Amino acid sequence: MKIEPATKQRIIRNSVLSLFIYFLPIVLMFLTFYFTGQRPWEKKPLKKENVKSLTNKTNLNNGSND
């Protein structure tokens, strides 16, 4: 089955356009990293602080803090 040249050109054009739209955010992200010097993958994760709860109840039934 033969495809008309006009249809073939539209399929190719739409495929290229779809790939461009797909890769554009990725390219822009890496360009932003390049120009700003940011490297978020090199940042160390923040350590969680060991914080006591303000509502430390010894008896859960009556809510007293004795």
pLDDT band at 66 (very low <50, low <70, confident <90, very high): low
Query: Tokens 């120009």 sit at which residue?
Result: 35
- For residue 40, the model assigns a pLDDT of 85
- For residue 56, the model assigns a pLDDT of 56
* Length of the chain, in residues: 66
- For residue 41, the model assigns a pLDDT of 84
